[in-house]
Amino acid sequence: MEYFQFLVIILFSPLVNGVIKKLKANMQGRVGPGVLQPYYDLLRLLKKDMVVSTVTSWIFKATPYIVFTATATAAVIVPVLSTASPYGMMGDVIALIYLFALARFFMALGGLDAGTSFGGEGSSREMTVAILVEPIMMLALFTAAISAGSTNIVRIATVHPAVFSPSHLLALTAFMVAIVAETGRVPVDNPDTHLELTMIHEGMILEYSGRYLALMEWAHYMKQMILFTLAIDIFFPLGIAQSGNPAILAAAVVVYAAKVTGMALLMALVESTRAKIRFFQLPSLLGGSFVLAFLSLVTHIMMGK
């Protein structure tokens, strides 16, 4: 059972995105599409013919598969419902971050491959945001890893550190800002825009269509859910099953669903109440969050919790 917990992420990640969209629509006084809309979109894209630019090379075609498989492998590493996950032997939290980096590397190359300005612009901005986010994420995760004495996610989730210690709250805040940036949400990027000059992620995948686009979108949904799950595992793991016992597992499913919904609600709230900020104001937002992550580390070392 626990061997297949990654399927939760692969199968339900479009749903999570649908829920965020629905919540966002409701907050903004709209009805919005149903929560299953992302599934319909993916299936529709799979059935479409593709248009590929003649300028592109094999990188363009390999990218959707590499992005999808790297993200799916990250989904295997992160424990979802139970800490009895055997895949902690395959990689730790650092490996997870670097699998995302692998996906991003190829996505940025895919953006450059068609030889258009939009693709290049998207790639350039995506890599810039990554430069600002990566140290925050690593430092916040380091604080958690130091307090658990391990970078193994299963181990961090099992150790149950004092959840509301000051250092954890600081690290959590920093990590949340990093998640907003990594998933391409307002105020960093706007997932709904197709206005060329403001888009980051959408600009990069502008040339993709059909099943390639489906894979890219799906991978993006998965990445979002993995990051939610990672935050849950590391900062409030309470309720995650410690064994494969069916009753405990059933309880874990409920707790996990509640936590992910909470994260979705938070994202919808942030997106509805914030405006997208100018690209060059990002350093002050993310720089502030880096300071939080640093403070959380210092707090942990000075106070020991």
Show contacts with another protein in window 200-219 (CB under 8 A): 206-207, 210-211, 214-215
210 sits in the region (left: phi over 0; alpha: psi -120 to 50; else beta) called left
Q: Which stretch binds another protein (CB under 8 A): 18-26, 57-65, 180-188, 241-249?
A: 57-65
Compute the Cα dihedral for 2, 222, 107, 273 and give only its sign: negative
Contacts with another protein, 142-181, as mask; x by CB under 8 A? xx-xx--xxxx--x--------------------------
Work out how close the CB of 284 gets to another protein at its nearest, in angstroms, rounded to a whole number.
10
Q: Which of 8, 16, 70, 81 binds another protein (CB under 8 A)?
A: 70
CA 285 – CA 290 distance, rounded (Å): 9
CA 154 – CA 62 distance, rounded (Å): 32
The residue among 249, 248, 229 whose CA lies nearest residue 1 is: 249
Q: How far is CA 119 from the centre of its chain?
A: 21
Question: Should residue 48 be labelled a site residue for another protein when binding is judged by CB under 8 A?
Answer: yes
CA 179 – CA 225 distance, rounded (Å): 10
Q: Which stretch binds another protein (CB under 8 A): 13-21, 22-30, 177-185, 278-286?
A: 278-286
The residue among 122, 133, 264, 132 whose CA lies nearest residue 193 is: 122
Work out how close the CB of 57 gets to another protein at its nearest, in angstroms, rounded to a whole number.
4
> The tokens of 239 are what?
């309720």
> The tokens of 303 are what?
């106070």
Q: Which of residues 90-119 bind another protein (CB under 8 A)?
A: 90-92, 94-95, 97-99, 101-102, 104-105, 108-109, 111-119
> How many other β-carbons are positioned within 10 Å of the β-carbon of residue 218?
25
Work out how close the CB of 295 gets to another protein at its nearest, in angstroms, rounded to a whole number.
11
Q: Which of 32, 135, 166, 244 binds another protein (CB under 8 A)?
A: 135
Q: Which stretch binds another protein (CB under 8 A): 27-35, 89-97, 163-171, 182-190?
A: 89-97
Work out how close the CB of 158 gets to another protein at its nearest, in angstroms, rounded to a whole number.
10
